[in-house]
Amino acid sequence: MKTKLFKTAKALVKNMPIMFSVILLLGIVKEFITFDKVATLFTSNTLIDTGIGSLVGSIFAGNSMNSYIIARELQVAGISLYAITAFLISWVTVGLLQAPIEAKMFGTSFAVKRNILSAILAMVVSLITVTLWGLI
């Protein structure tokens, strides 16, 4: 039992340096990259905006509450709901900042495949959600 407790703790501690690096990177992104200019990135083309929404959400990370607040601001600024939804989904499901730790844990191939797929699916989920919302 003692060995298992120790082995498990060791497995967790081993991942601390990379986990700590990702948290430190989040701090830099939060304080040095402002969200004010995010709204200016969008065009008025639904498909392009959905892609931009997914891309922006993929780059930023952190507490989901922040993504909701930014999404609300984007909505007030008149950005399409398709773009906002893609942004919300990719914020949580795609993690470019977390990619190094993901690659270390499950392999680079998994991290690359999963993040690209998640960014594409964020667009698909957005298109389906907003279309259904309009129809129902």
Binding site for another protein (CB under 8 A): 1, 4-5, 7-9, 11-12, 14-15, 17-28, 30-32, 64-65, 68, 71-72, 75, 85, 88-89, 92-93, 95, 98, 100-102, 104-106, 110, 113-114, 117-118, 121, 124-125, 128-129, 132-133, 136
Residue bearing tokens 């992104």: 29
- Report the alpha-carbon distance of residue 122 to residue 135 in Å, rounded: 20
Q: Phi and psi of 124, rounded to 5°?
A: -65, -45
* Backbone φ, ψ for residue 78 (5° rounding): 90, 15
Give the H or E element holding residue 19.
Answer: helix 16-32
Minimum gap (Å) between residue 60 Cβ and another protein = 14
CB nearer another protein, residue 7 or residue 43: 7
Least CB distance to another protein at residue 43 (A): 22
